[in-house]
Structure 1
Amino acid sequence: MTASNNTVDAERERWQQNAVLRSLCAYQNNQVYFVDYQLWSRIRGAIAADLIVDNVQELLNAEISHVSDRQQIH
Protein backbone atom coordinates (compact mmCIF):
# COMPACT_ATOMS: atom_id res chain seq x y z
CA MET A 1 0.00 0.00 0.00
CA THR A 2 1.57 3.28 -1.02
CA ALA A 3 1.40 6.11 1.46
CA SER A 4 -0.50 8.88 -0.30
CA ASN A 5 0.95 11.64 1.82
CA ASN A 6 4.47 10.21 1.63
CA THR A 7 4.48 9.19 5.28
CA VAL A 8 4.32 5.45 5.68
CA ASP A 9 3.53 5.64 9.38
CA ALA A 10 0.56 7.93 8.75
CA GLU A 11 -0.87 5.53 6.17
CA ARG A 12 -0.40 2.56 8.50
CA GLU A 13 -2.22 4.51 11.23
CA ARG A 14 -5.07 5.29 8.83
CA TRP A 15 -5.50 1.57 8.15
CA GLN A 16 -5.44 0.74 11.85
CA GLN A 17 -8.28 3.20 12.47
CA ASN A 18 -10.51 1.97 9.63
CA ALA A 19 -12.64 -1.07 10.51
CA VAL A 20 -13.32 -1.92 6.85
CA LEU A 21 -9.64 -1.98 5.95
CA ARG A 22 -8.80 -3.95 9.12
CA SER A 23 -11.40 -6.55 8.10
CA LEU A 24 -9.51 -7.48 4.92
CA CYS A 25 -7.95 -10.94 5.04
CA ALA A 26 -4.66 -9.59 3.70
CA TYR A 27 -4.45 -7.09 6.55
CA GLN A 28 -5.40 -9.68 9.17
CA ASN A 29 -2.71 -12.04 7.82
CA ASN A 30 -0.03 -9.32 7.84
CA GLN A 31 0.16 -9.36 4.03
CA VAL A 32 -0.17 -5.60 3.52
CA TYR A 33 3.09 -3.76 3.04
CA PHE A 34 3.29 0.01 3.38
CA VAL A 35 5.74 1.75 1.06
CA ASP A 36 6.79 5.28 0.21
CA TYR A 37 4.52 6.85 -2.42
CA GLN A 38 7.24 9.05 -3.91
CA LEU A 39 9.63 6.17 -4.44
CA TRP A 40 7.10 3.65 -5.74
CA SER A 41 4.92 5.91 -7.88
CA ARG A 42 6.66 9.10 -8.89
CA ILE A 43 10.38 8.53 -9.20
CA ARG A 44 11.52 6.76 -12.38
CA GLY A 45 14.75 5.35 -13.74
CA ALA A 46 17.42 2.85 -12.89
CA ILE A 47 18.30 4.38 -9.52
CA ALA A 48 14.66 4.37 -8.44
CA ALA A 49 14.28 0.77 -9.59
CA ASP A 50 17.32 -0.18 -7.54
CA LEU A 51 15.90 1.59 -4.48
CA ILE A 52 12.55 -0.18 -4.93
CA VAL A 53 14.31 -3.56 -5.11
CA ASP A 54 16.18 -2.67 -1.91
CA ASN A 55 12.87 -1.70 -0.29
CA VAL A 56 11.29 -5.02 -1.30
CA GLN A 57 14.26 -6.90 0.14
CA GLU A 58 13.94 -5.00 3.42
CA LEU A 59 10.22 -5.74 3.64
CA LEU A 60 10.65 -9.42 2.88
CA ASN A 61 13.64 -9.82 5.20
CA ALA A 62 11.60 -8.27 7.99
CA GLU A 63 8.76 -10.69 7.19
CA ILE A 64 11.11 -13.68 7.19
CA SER A 65 12.57 -12.56 10.51
CA HIS A 66 9.09 -12.10 11.96
CA VAL A 67 7.98 -15.58 10.82
CA SER A 68 11.19 -17.11 12.15
CA ASP A 69 10.69 -15.45 15.53
CA ARG A 70 7.09 -16.74 15.72
CA GLN A 71 8.21 -20.28 14.90
CA GLN A 72 10.86 -20.22 17.64
CA ILE A 73 8.24 -19.19 20.19
CA HIS A 74 6.07 -22.19 19.38
Structure 2
Amino acid sequence: MVGAPWISLHQWIVVSHPAHPRQRHRADIYQVRGPNESLVAFAAAELSNGVWGFYVPDPVREKPHRS
Protein backbone atom coordinates (compact mmCIF):
# COMPACT_ATOMS: atom_id res chain seq x y z
CA MET A 1 0.00 0.00 0.00
CA VAL A 2 1.51 3.30 -1.03
CA GLY A 3 2.13 5.55 1.94
CA ALA A 4 1.84 2.77 4.51
CA PRO A 5 4.02 3.38 7.58
CA TRP A 6 7.23 1.45 7.96
CA ILE A 7 7.21 -0.65 11.13
CA SER A 8 10.71 -1.02 12.58
CA LEU A 9 11.58 -4.51 13.81
CA HIS A 10 14.53 -3.06 15.79
CA GLN A 11 16.83 -5.48 13.97
CA TRP A 12 19.49 -4.94 11.35
CA ILE A 13 21.65 -6.79 8.84
CA VAL A 14 24.94 -6.02 7.11
CA VAL A 15 24.72 -5.63 3.31
CA SER A 16 27.21 -5.00 0.52
CA HIS A 17 27.07 -1.83 -1.56
CA PRO A 18 25.80 -2.88 -5.03
CA ALA A 19 28.47 -0.88 -6.92
CA HIS A 20 31.26 -1.37 -4.37
CA PRO A 21 30.90 -4.90 -2.91
CA ARG A 22 33.76 -4.46 -0.42
CA GLN A 23 31.84 -1.66 1.31
CA ARG A 24 29.54 -2.85 4.07
CA HIS A 25 26.51 -1.00 5.37
CA ARG A 26 24.09 -1.54 8.23
CA ALA A 27 20.51 -1.92 6.95
CA ASP A 28 17.61 -1.64 9.36
CA ILE A 29 14.77 -4.16 8.96
CA TYR A 30 11.19 -2.98 8.55
CA GLN A 31 7.76 -4.36 7.76
CA VAL A 32 4.98 -2.69 5.82
CA ARG A 33 1.44 -3.85 5.04
CA GLY A 34 1.03 -4.98 1.44
CA PRO A 35 -2.03 -4.44 -0.75
CA ASN A 36 -3.69 -7.61 0.56
CA GLU A 37 -2.91 -6.64 4.20
CA SER A 38 -0.02 -9.14 4.41
CA LEU A 39 3.20 -7.99 6.09
CA VAL A 40 6.15 -7.48 3.76
CA ALA A 41 9.65 -7.40 5.29
CA PHE A 42 12.56 -5.45 3.82
CA ALA A 43 15.81 -3.81 4.87
CA ALA A 44 16.84 -0.26 3.97
CA ALA A 45 20.18 1.54 4.18
CA GLU A 46 21.50 4.91 3.06
CA LEU A 47 24.49 3.86 0.96
CA SER A 48 25.67 7.35 0.04
CA ASN A 49 24.37 10.87 0.59
CA GLY A 50 20.71 10.56 -0.45
CA VAL A 51 21.23 7.18 -2.16
CA TRP A 52 19.22 4.39 -0.57
CA GLY A 53 19.37 0.64 -1.04
CA PHE A 54 16.38 -1.59 -0.40
CA TYR A 55 16.80 -5.30 0.17
CA VAL A 56 14.22 -8.09 0.33
CA PRO A 57 14.69 -11.66 1.56
CA ASP A 58 15.80 -14.26 -0.99
CA PRO A 59 12.82 -16.67 -1.24
CA VAL A 60 15.16 -19.59 -2.01
CA ARG A 61 17.09 -19.03 1.22
CA GLU A 62 13.89 -18.57 3.22
CA LYS A 63 12.63 -22.11 2.50
CA PRO A 64 13.10 -24.56 5.39
CA HIS A 65 15.78 -27.21 4.95
CA ARG A 66 14.63 -30.82 4.76
CA SER A 67 16.67 -33.63 6.25
Provide the TM-score with structure 2 as the length reference. 0.28
Provide the TM-score with structure 1 as the length reference. 0.27
With CA pairs under 8 Å and 6+ residues apart, which has the higher RCO, 1 or 2? 1
Higher helix share: 1
